[in-house]
Structure 1
Amino acid sequence: MNRGIFRPKRREITKILAASGVAVTLTAAMGTGVSHAEGSSPLGVPTSSISADGKFFAPGLNTVVKRTEAPAENSQLSAETTSPVAPAPTGAEAYYRIKNGHWIAQVCGTDVIQQTSGQGKATLVLSVDQSVAATVTKEVNVDLKYISAGLGWSVTSTYGVKQESRYDVPEGKWGSIQAFPLFDIYEGEAWSGVGGDLPTGKRVWGYKPAGVCFNQWSQ
């Protein structure tokens, strides 16, 4: 896998990953609190929490996570399918089968989908109702439709996220709320062979929009 791809590990809900020298924390718990993070980027996201490819960040102290749908938990998904390997080995018809699709964690995307700001003393309100596209990272050359079948949901679709957050800005302070998409991360294993019974050790990940990460702070 390329260094720039965000790589979640299996069967862990809270974890720290090192990618290109940057430690990234993933958590399945909701972030709470609204204090301004020291050393944050212009988007109010601590740079140390951003993945190496710049596409995701871990919820921090100033992030409130609100889900649109219930968490998937760490449950197995039953759907499986096969995909021709390209190119196939000489004299063999090999296939990738995506097996054991399961939810492993949640993470925030770095694309701002909505924002508001204002001078305190005041209460900021940000209501979000947006459609967000799913995304994928993978270690094998497998078509997205087979990943969809293997994970049990469409990785090429968009999903609606709808939530609201309120933030009280102290008097004399300038407050901000920025909304980012929340993604559930699903992982599947790639198996090969005509019967799909040979483990490759390679994996695919699907990122399904599931809610909103509100970063809110005052300064």
Structure 2
Amino acid sequence: MADHHAAPAATSDSGLFTPTAHTVVKRGGAVEVTPTAGKLMQPRADWVKVTGRSYQGQQCGTNVIQKTSGAGKTTLTMSVQKSVAVKWSATASISAGAVSAGMGFDVTHTYTVTDQTAFDVPKGKFGTIEAYPLYDVYGFNESSIVDGKKIGTGSVLKPVGVCFNQWNE
């Protein structure tokens, strides 16, 4: 690891950042914590539906969910177990039920992301670990149920793991 740290830079206004050389990405350990009745939420009688769902990869969130630091020589360790909500947005008016139906999972749910890391801090250095949620990123189109024409776009961020930024100064 390099001794210089640059804070994660969000990509536009998305609230996400692309992992760097300082980032350890750990997928998995995400457990849905909002109970379901075995069915996805059904859309209301909306005039908008989700079409063209596309997986766009993984990105790290920019909100720190846990942090630790210390002077070396030491090994910093961190175990994360945090609840993180699904995030979604759309350019046209659409219900959460319609988005959930189009995505194949409930966008109103929360997931507990869990993972752990260890980071060696050499003598004379000060080390830091920051944890961020890791998301699967999806895009979708909003289309009219009347004529099928595209009327907007949207995105969904589903928590699936933890990103750890770790560095020495």
TM-score of the pair, normalised by structure 1: 0.66
> What is the distance in 2 between the residues matched to 1:155 and 1:193?
20
Deviation of residue 163 (structure 1)? Answer: 0.4
Q: What secondary structure does 1:116 align onto?
A: strand
Match of 2:61 in 1: 109
Answer yes or no: is the 8 Å Cα contact 1:176–1:218 preserved in 2.
yes
Deviation of residue 133 (structure 1)? Answer: 0.7
> What is the distance in 2 between the residues matched to 1:130 and 1:168?
24
Match of 1:67 in 2: 27
Q: What secondary structure does 1:53 align onto?
A: coil
Gaps of 5+ in 2: 31-39
Q: Which has the higher contact order (CA 8 A, sep 6+)?
A: 2
> What is the distance in 2 between the residues matched to 1:69 and 1:189?
29
Alignment partner of 1:149 is 2:101: yes
Relative to structure 1, the CA distance from residue 126 to residue 69 in structure 2 (aligned partners, 3 Å threshold; closer, same or farther) is closer
Alignment partner of 1:56 is 2:23: no
Answer yes or no: is the 8 Å Cα contact 1:64–1:213 preserved in 2.
yes
> What is the distance in 2 between the residues matched to 1:109 and 1:133?
12
- For residues 77-96 of structure 1, the aligned pairs below 5 Å read 84=45, 95-96=47-48
Answer yes or no: is the 8 Å Cα contact 1:37–1:62 preserved in 2.
no
Alignment partner of 1:216 is 2:166: yes
Deviation of residue 36 (structure 1)? Answer: 4.4
Relative to structure 1, the CA distance from residue 132 to residue 36 in structure 2 (aligned partners, 3 Å threshold; closer, same or farther) is farther
Answer yes or no: is the 8 Å Cα contact 1:101–1:152 preserved in 2.
no
Match of 2:149 in 1: 199
Q: What secondary structure does 1:124 align onto?
A: strand
> What is the distance in 1 between the residues matched to 2:126 and 2:71?
5
Deviation of residue 98 (structure 1)? Answer: 0.8
Q: What secondary structure does 2:167 align onto?
A: strand
Aligned length: 160
Match of 1:133 in 2: 85
Gaps of 5+ in 1: 1-33, 71-78, 86-94
Deviation of residue 106 (structure 1)? Answer: 1.0
